[in-house]
Amino acid sequence: MLLEGEQPFFDSLHTDYIVGLASKLDAPTSYEGAVTEHLRMSGVYWSLTALSLLKSPEQVDSLMGITAPKDGRPSLVDWTMSCYDSRTGGFGGNVGHDAHLLYTLSAIQILALADKIDMVNKDAVTKFVASLQQPDGSFAGDEWGEIDTRFTYCALSTLSLLGRLDAVDVDKAAQYIIKCRNLDGGFGCVVGAESHAGQVFCCIGALSIAKSLHLLGDGADLLGWWLAERQVDSGGLNGRPEKQADVCYSWWILSALSILGRVSWISGDKLATFILKCQDNDDGGIADRPDDMADVFHTFFGIAGLSLLGHLHKDGVDGDYRKIDPVYALPTDVVERLGLQAQVMTRKGEPVDERLESFDVYNEEKGFRQ
């Protein structure tokens, strides 16, 4: 059943939008192509994962050309491999670009979706990631050395996908994350930096993969409160106090709340209504806020947010949608196929999302790991 005044979910328009983008990206003068040129690898991951939530793996393959060339372009798997830099062992954001952890994670996620992780030299990629860990446990994004808690998430997620978490000091990485926690309960990009919801996702995701959520201590309530405070009157979520709501925060905040076992701390119905209002009802795609221009980033995080809310899986919504995993941002069946590990919190009276059932549980009240 749709709620009063609620938009339907424009499934097939979004499919057309995502498939149509692929051809626009190749046109050198297109707006879409220019904006995402430097982060094409992530753009491909956002497109493929968004479509994977709507369609079966076979349909996604034939629509996008994951394994076979399509419309004269190389297959997406071959294109991904052509962004591999054998000098460093990492992947760049586009052909000929320097390797970076951001695009290395996107590349490994694309290969995981395509069930082609075996195509990479796991030792070389592992060595690249491990070389970026600093003595204090933090990670640089590339050989130039910028430090950011986002890169800790990228490093741990990449290594977990490769089954090589043992190649870095995971405990030290988790301790560095805790050092980036602020008095408001949130996390910043480095020690002392302002709390930001995108950073919170990276820090909580990293602690989850490191199975170190116990390091939050009593801080989980304060953080849950800070995250819940991000919901504004429109139902949407903002990234920091006093900022406008934006669809992508639906993902950063919901996934963190879901790992913390506190999704019920925000109104899911109001948030779903906000995301649905940000759809382009004519051309498909989802924008950051109502009446703005759609892009693939917000289309992915909007669909992912609706999935986490359970909105795509409720009565009255057609379609046999795959679910998204809040820790790895990949379809849950891919996470299960690879046997990926992580940790989530449970709370008295709060149901555990079935998509998290295969992960370890840290029970706050009892103070022990089950």
Q: Which of 61, 85, 142, 246 binds Zn ion (CB under 5 A)?
A: 246
Both structure tokens of 199: 């950073």
- The percent helix, strand, coil of the chain (3-state, each to 5) is 50, 10, 40
In the complex with ligand 3PZ, which residue's Cβ is closer, 79 or 252?
Answer: 252
The number of residues in the chain equals: 370
In the complex with Zn ion, which residue's Cβ is closer, 292 or 350?
Answer: 292
What distance in Å separates the CA atoms of residue 16 and residue 63, rounded to the nearest whole number?
10
Q: How far is the CB of 155 from ligand 3PZ (least distance, A)?
A: 15
Site for ligand 3PZ in 10-69 (CB under 6 A): 35-36, 39, 42
What distance in Å separates the CA atoms of residue 323 and residue 161, rounded to the nearest whole number?
18
Q: How many CB atoms lie within 10 A of CB 169?
A: 14
**Residue 211: which of 37, 369, 337 has the closest Cα?**
369
What distance in Å separates the CA atoms of residue 218 and residue 282, rounded to the nearest whole number?
47
Q: What is residue 244's DSSP assignment?
A: P
Residue 295 in the binding site for ligand 3PZ (CB under 6 A): yes
Residue 206 in the binding site for ligand 3PZ (CB under 6 A): no
Q: Which of 79, 297, 321, 359 binds ligand 3PZ (CB under 6 A)?
A: 297
- DSSP H stretches of helix in 120-195: 122-131, 149-162, 170-179
What distance in Å separates the CA atoms of residue 288 and residue 188, rounded to the nearest whole number?
22
In the complex with ligand 3PZ, which residue's Cβ is closer, 280 or 295?
Answer: 295
Q: How far is the CB of 297 from Zn ion (least distance, A)?
A: 7
Q: Which stretch binds Zn ion (CB under 5 A): 218-226, 241-249, 279-287, 330-338?
A: 241-249
Q: Which of 296, 308, 340, 356 binds ligand 3PZ (CB under 6 A)?
A: 296
With CB under 6 A as the rule, give the number of residues binding ligand 3PZ: 10
Residue 42 interaction partner, one of ligand 3PZ, Zn ion, none, beta carbon < 5-8 Å per kind: ligand 3PZ
Q: Which stretch binds Zn ion (CB under 5 A): 60-68, 142-150, 244-252, 322-330?
A: 244-252
Q: How do beta strands 343-346 and 360-363 pair?
A: parallel
Q: How far is the CB of 288 from Zn ion (least distance, A)?
A: 4
What distance in Å separates the CA atoms of residue 149 and residue 200, rounded to the nearest whole number?
9
Handedness of CA 267, 149, 259, 335 (dihedral sign): positive
Both structure tokens of 303: 């669909």
Residue 238 in the binding site for ligand 3PZ (CB under 6 A): no
Residue 288 in the binding site for Zn ion (CB under 5 A): yes
DSSP 3-state of 367: coil
Q: How far is the CB of 239 from ligand 3PZ (least distance, A)?
A: 8
Q: How far is the CB of 42 from ligand 3PZ (least distance, A)?
A: 6
In the complex with Zn ion, which residue's Cβ is closer, 246 or 353?
Answer: 246
In the complex with Zn ion, which residue's Cβ is closer, 134 or 244?
Answer: 244
Q: How far is the CB of 249 from Zn ion (least distance, A)?
A: 7
What distance in Å separates the CA atoms of residue 357 and residue 370, rounded to the nearest whole number?
12
Q: What residues line the site for Zn ion (CB under 5 A)? A: 246, 248, 288
Q: What residues line the site for ligand 3PZ (CB under 6 A)? A: 35-36, 39, 42, 246, 248, 288, 295-297
